Amino acid sequence: MPPLRRSGSERTDTIKLPTRNAAVLAGTDVLVVGAGPSGIGAAVGAAEAGARVVLAERYGYPGGCATAALVMPLMSYHTQHPAPRQAGAETLFPTDHGLSGGPVVAGVLTRLVDRLVARRGAIPPSPATGYVVPFDPEVFKLVAFDLLDESGVEYLLHASASGVSGNPYVDGVVFETKSGPAVINARCTVDCTGDADITAYAGGRYIIGRERDGAAGPMTLMFRMVGFDRARFMDYVRANPAEWYGVHGLWELIREATLRGELDLKREDILLFGTPHEGEVCINSTRVSGVFGTDVCGLTHAEREGRRQMEQIAAFLQKYVPGFQNAYVVQSGATIGVRGSRRIIGGYTLTLHDVLEARKFDDVIARGAYPVDIHNPAGPGTFMRRLPPGESYDIPLRCLLPTGVDNLCVAGKCISATYEAHSSIRAMPICVATGQAAGVCAALAARSGCSPHAVNFKAVQSELARQGADIRGVA
């Protein structure tokens, strides 16, 4: 049976639904919607700022892309001093990050990484990992629960937000649950849905895709293979230095398999990441283009197409790549990975120049050092540009405050940034940092009974500094 395609027009073929009652489940100071990297940061940040916090999530566990979509390494959050190693270096991690001037994200992220490492669920960042943090998604779930429990965050799982009460002043969010519709009222809400769902429900302004043509970055179904013989693979890489560079490679084998009609890869290379487990790799090589994360029919198609590509890639690796002969797919993401969908229009929109020129802002609440990393929306190719050596850029508080909506902060991959700047700010460590800042801002707004727009950025900075966040020591 093929994936359902929409018949008729979305705009004209609608019916009016009957009004209904919803159970009021709770009232709280801060409600965080979405328990991905940004939601975890927001919930912990708000709770540590003294707020009563409820975190609501549509899946049965926290982590967002990190767990549900199997996006397994935390990308580098360290400044870089590039010193490219030779092609074919013996690694399953990025090879060209050189040495680092140190991390630019701390706070909740440091606690998360330390906990992952302590539970043998991650490899700490170092030159050997290219400063990425490979982690085990099952350990990530446990560590995230621990952090939430210790901070006193109350959470509600299996609750999918479908609307708001109050517009444009958000004073509660409606959730679809197995117990029926439910509402959680809050003095201030943080939208960490990755899709800016709450902002959209409240009538806030947003943009989807590339500014000039609306094209959206491709989606990727991530998967893990186990039974992988790392030593054999490394022997192959050493013997074929032109075939592998960092986490990318197999160009020649791909070309040959494509000519034989065995492979129909939508990107130019295979992208593999090592994990904390010797016999496992995580594969980021499927690509589904022309689909939007806010279109249910498109998502349905992408889930099917992603698995078709996964099967083909796994068969190619097993047949032709030494080290994969006995490897098999142990898991694919519970959901296809959506790189970007809605981005809010906030008080400031971060740009490509802000990132690449490492711009600083008075109202800095988070920092990033991850390169601009744009996956071609239309076909193969990835555009990568690094910051100047040793540099980082600031993210201003205004990027987290949506225009046209009140009582709402936004964090993670849907903050106010251009299509190009988004390709850097979406890295998970940066999402944890913007989450922590949004949580603090929401807690301060709830405490003083004011709009988040009226919270003094210096108060946010000083609370973030107290919580150990790295904001260049400005507070």
Ligand X SMILES: Cc1cc2nc3c(=O)[nH]c(=O)nc-3n(C[C@H](O)[C@H](O)[C@H](O)COP(=O)(O)OP(=O)(O)OC[C@H]3O[C@@H](n4cnc5c(N)ncnc54)[C@H](O)[C@@H]3O)c2cc1C
Q: Which of 80, 151, 199, 284 binds ligand X (CB under 6 A)?
A: 284
Q: Which of 428, 437, 440, 444 binds ligand X (CB under 6 A)?
A: 428
Stretch that binds ligand X, among 21-29, 352-360, 361-369, 423-431 (CB under 6 A): 423-431
Query: 218: cis peptide before it, omega within 30°?
Result: no
For ligand X, the closer of residues 77 and 324 by Cβ is 77
- Taking phi over 0 as left and psi of -120 to 50 as alpha, with beta for the rest, 338 belongs to beta
* Alpha carbons 97 and 222: distance in angstroms, whole number: 23
**Given CA atoms 282, 283, 289, 291 in this order, what sign does their dihedral have?**
negative
Is 35 among the residues that bind ligand X (CB under 6 A)? yes
* Alpha carbons 220 and 94: distance in angstroms, whole number: 19
Is 73 among the residues that bind ligand X (CB under 6 A)? yes
Is 201 among the residues that bind ligand X (CB under 6 A)? no
Number of other residues whose CB lies within 10 A of the CB of residue 53 = 30
Stretch that binds ligand X, among 23-31, 146-154, 331-339, 463-471 (CB under 6 A): 331-339
The conformation of residue 276, written as its DSSP 8-state character, comes to S
Is 183 among the residues that bind ligand X (CB under 6 A)? no
Is 267 among the residues that bind ligand X (CB under 6 A)? no
- Taking phi over 0 as left and psi of -120 to 50 as alpha, with beta for the rest, 299 belongs to alpha
Q: Which of 28, 30, 32, 36 binds ligand X (CB under 6 A)?
A: 36
Is 160 among the residues that bind ligand X (CB under 6 A)? yes
Among positions 375-414, residues that touch ligand X (CB under 6 A) are 412-413
At closest approach, how far in Å is the CB of 167 from ligand X?
A: 16
CB 422 within 8 A of CB 404: no
Helix (H, G, I), strand (E, B) or coil at 37: helix
Among positions 81-140, residues that touch ligand X (CB under 6 A) are none
Stretch that binds ligand X, among 299-307, 356-364, 421-429, 456-464 (CB under 6 A): 421-429
Q: Which of 49, 153, 310, 427 binds ligand X (CB under 6 A)?
A: 427
Is 293 among the residues that bind ligand X (CB under 6 A)? no
At closest approach, how far in Å is the CB of 325 from ligand X?
A: 26
Q: Distance of alpha carbon 241 from its chain centroid, rounded? A: 32
Q: What angle do CA 355, 222, 104 make, to 5 degrees?
A: 30
Q: Which of 106, 317, 338, 374 binds ligand X (CB under 6 A)?
A: 338
* Alpha carbons 294 and 83: distance in angstroms, whole number: 40
For 238-304, the DSSP string reads HH-GGGEETTEE-HHHHHHHHHTTS---SSSSEEEEE-SSTTEEEE----B-S--TT-HHHHHHHHH
Stretch that binds ligand X, among 30-38, 105-113, 260-268, 304-312 (CB under 6 A): 30-38
Which parts of this chain interact with ligand X (CB under 6 A)? 33-39, 56-59, 64-66, 69, 71, 73-75, 160-161, 192-195, 197, 220, 222, 284, 337-339, 412-413, 426-428, 431
